[in-house]
Structure formats: C-alpha cells, structure tokens
C-alpha cells in the first residue's frame, strides 16, 4: 500500500469553495502564521474552517466506515476515504459507531467490556488523526489565502518573480506542520493489531501496516526511516511543494472566477435604464 502524504486537507477543495462564494476573498498582505488552532486570518481560511467544522461535527456523530483506507495514493489527502467504502471492496460493510459498537453488515458484533474499551479507543485514535488533518487543512487554506494576496500584490507591483518565492515560503510552513501526522498513525496501528487478535471479526479491516507508517516517515523526512536518501527526500519535497503551489493557484483561479460571476450576476439583476 502506498502512503499518502497528509498535507492540506483543505487545499483540495479550496477552488471549489471559492467558486461557490458569492464574492472573492479579499486580497490581503501576508501576516504572521497563526499558531495551530488559532482562528484563521483570511477570508479563505475562515470559509474553509466553516466547511471543515461542519465535517468535524458530522464525523463525531456518525458511524465510521472501516472499509475505507487511510491512504489512497501518493501525496494525496490522507482522509479522503475515511468513512467511505471503496466500490471495489468486496468485504462486508464494517462500521464503528460513536458509542464504540462494531457493526458488520449492519449487525452488531458481540463483545465483552475489555473489547468494547479497545473499540472506543480505536475510534478515538482515528478521530485524533482526522481532527489533526482537518486543523492542518484550515491552516493550509489560511496560508493559501495569504498567498492569494501575494499573487495580486506581485502582479500589481510588476514583480511576478516574487510570487513563487513567497508561495515556497508558505509551502514550507505547511510541510512542517504535516510532518506531525505520521507519528499519530502509530497508535492507530497498535490498536488495530490488538483488536485483530481480540476481535477476530475485526481482523479483515486491520489494513494499516507498520511499513506504511515507515513510508510516511520516510516521505515526510522525519528521520525515522533509514533507507531514504537526501536525493529522495529532496525529490519528494519538490513534488509536495509543486502540489501546494498548484492548489494555491487553483484557489486564485477560483476566486477570480467567483468574482467575475458575482459581478455578472449583479449586473444582470439590475433593472435596465429607462430609454
């Protein structure tokens, strides 16, 4: 299984959210990066924070589908399929309820008190990783909003070469935050292995491997994997930064399109001047 790099849970939807906005996010000068958990500083960050906040509440209240995988492709959103079953998956649907009940094919699996405690802990471990990714997504969108301001500033000042430099700086901040997520996967793996032994019905759904986490460490440059080389780390970092830049550019395009559409709608709604 290929590991996915858990960066920018929100940048994947930034352009879509911007396109749905009634008006474009205002251009802003770059500001100091807010501490993790701090309120977003840009309109784009606040818009994404609202959407992710709703998703977080929904995730806490609904069953988590265990058929979904944590990883779905290199350098992609680590939470893209949490709670979503792969259409090609032939296993019966397995879900974990908010109360820690294991459902397979819609039927509860009988467990004792100790097994139930482990299931509750496993769900909490999944929630911890998911919530960290969501928080990272808000930070990424906020940095994207700042970068949009940099783009317009660079274009207006006639200094477009500065745009990539500033975007690279923002990407570095996001990358540093993303490095922390690999470490949170280890408790998930440990609980999976324990549950696979304690609850045999759960075993087919314990798909996270230690090698996946080692691969995550390797790709993130955490230094926990000994097989990576400086050249490999540099290549991965370049790929990641390229994706971040493209996500920010998509956000810019979405904001511009939203502004154009809003202006068009405004003009069409105005009554025609009397002849």
Residue 80 has pLDDT above 90, yes or no: no
pLDDT score for 112: 97
Lowest mean pLDDT among 15-24, 108-117, 151-160, 224-233: 15-24
> Are 181 and 247 in contact, with CB atoms under 8 Å apart?
no
253 or 100: whose pLDDT is higher?
A: 100
Residue labelled with tokens 């990539």: 164
Lowest mean pLDDT among 80-89, 92-101, 138-147, 161-170: 80-89
Q: Smallest Cα–Cα separation from 132: which of 169, 187, 93?
A: 187
pLDDT bucket at 155, cuts 50 / 70 / 90: low
User: Which pLDDT does position 121 carry in this prediction?
Assistant: 95
Tell how many helices (H) and how many strands (E) occur in the chain: 7, 4
**pLDDT tens digits, one per residue of 54-65:** 777 887 888 988
Query: Of the spans 14-18, 68-72, 90-94, which averages the highest pLDDT?
Result: 90-94
Averaged pLDDT, 172-197: 80
185 or 224, which is more confident? 185
* Backbone Cα Rg of the chain: 22
What does the alpha-carbon distance between residue 44 and residue 25 come to, in Å, rounded to a whole number?
6
Reported as a pLDDT band with limits 50, 70 and 90, residue 182 is confident
Q: Which residues contact 1 (CB under 8 A, 6 or more apart)?
A: 69, 71, 207, 209, 212
Please report which helix (H) or strand (E) contains residue 65, including its range.
Answer: strand 64-65
Structure confidence at residue 258 (pLDDT):
58
Residue 183: which pLDDT band, with cuts at 50, 70 and 90? confident
Confidence at residue 177, expressed as pLDDT on a 0 to 100 scale: 64
Pairwise pLDDT comparison (257 vs 267), residue with the higher score: 267
Give this prediction's pTM: 0.57
Going from N- to C-terminal start, the domains of the chain cover: 11-256
Instruction: List, as one string, the DSSP characters of 106-157.
Output: TEEPP--HHHHHHHHHHHHHHHHHHHHHHHHHHHHHHHHHHHHHHHHHHHHH
Q: Which residues pair with 103 in a beta bridge?
A: 95, 108
Could you give the CA distance from residue 38 to residue 98 in angstroms, rounded to a whole number?
A: 27
Decide if 12 contacts 244 (C-beta within 8 A).
Answer: no
Q: Ranked by mean pLDDT, which of 35-39, 95-99, 206-210 comes out on top?
A: 95-99
The answer on pLDDT for 70 being more than 80 is no
More confident of the two residues 231 and 82? 231
pLDDT value at position 146?
Answer: 65
Whole-number Cα distances in Å, 272 to 264, 267, 268, 275: 14, 10, 9, 9
3 state SS for 150-199? HHHHHHHHCCCHHHHHHHHHHHHHHHHHHCCHHHHHHHHHHHHHHHHHHC
pLDDT tens digits along 205-243: 998 888 777 777 665 555 444 445 666 556 655 655 565
């Amino acid at each position: 299984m290929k590991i996915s790099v858990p960066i920018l849970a929100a940048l994947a939807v930034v352009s879509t959210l911007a396109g749905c906005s009634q008006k474009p996010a205002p251009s802003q000068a770059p500001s100091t990066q807010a501490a993790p958990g701090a309120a977003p500083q840009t309109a784009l960050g606040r818009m994404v924070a609202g959407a992710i906040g709703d998703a977080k509440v929904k995730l806490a209240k609904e069953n988590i589908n265990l058929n979904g995988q944590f990883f779905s492709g290199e350098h992609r959103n680590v939470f893209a399929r949490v709670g979503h079953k792969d259409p090609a998956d032939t296993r019966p649907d397995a879900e974990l309820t908010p109360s820690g009940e294991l459902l397979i094919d819609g039927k509860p699996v009988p467990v004792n008190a100790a097994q139930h405690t482990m299931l509750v802990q496993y769900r909490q471990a999944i929630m911890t990783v998911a919530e960290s990714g969501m928080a990272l997504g808000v930070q990424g969108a906020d940095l994207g909003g700042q970068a949009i301001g940099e783009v317009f500033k660079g274009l207006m000042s006639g200094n477009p070469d500065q745009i990539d430099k500033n975007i690279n700086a923002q990407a570095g901040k996001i990358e540093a935050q993303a490095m922390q997520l690999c470490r949170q996967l280890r408790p998930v793996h440990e609980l999976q292995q324990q549950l696979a032994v304690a609850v045999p019905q759960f075993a087919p759904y314990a798909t996270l491997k230690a090698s996946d986490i080692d691969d995550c460490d390797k790709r993130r440059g955490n230094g926990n994997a000994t097989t990576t080389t400086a050249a490999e780390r540099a290549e991965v970092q370049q790929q990641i930064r390229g994706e971040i830049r493209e996500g920010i550019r998509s956000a810019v395009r979405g904001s511009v399109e939203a502004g154009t559409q809003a202006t068009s709608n405004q003009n069409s709604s105005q009554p025609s001047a009397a002849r």
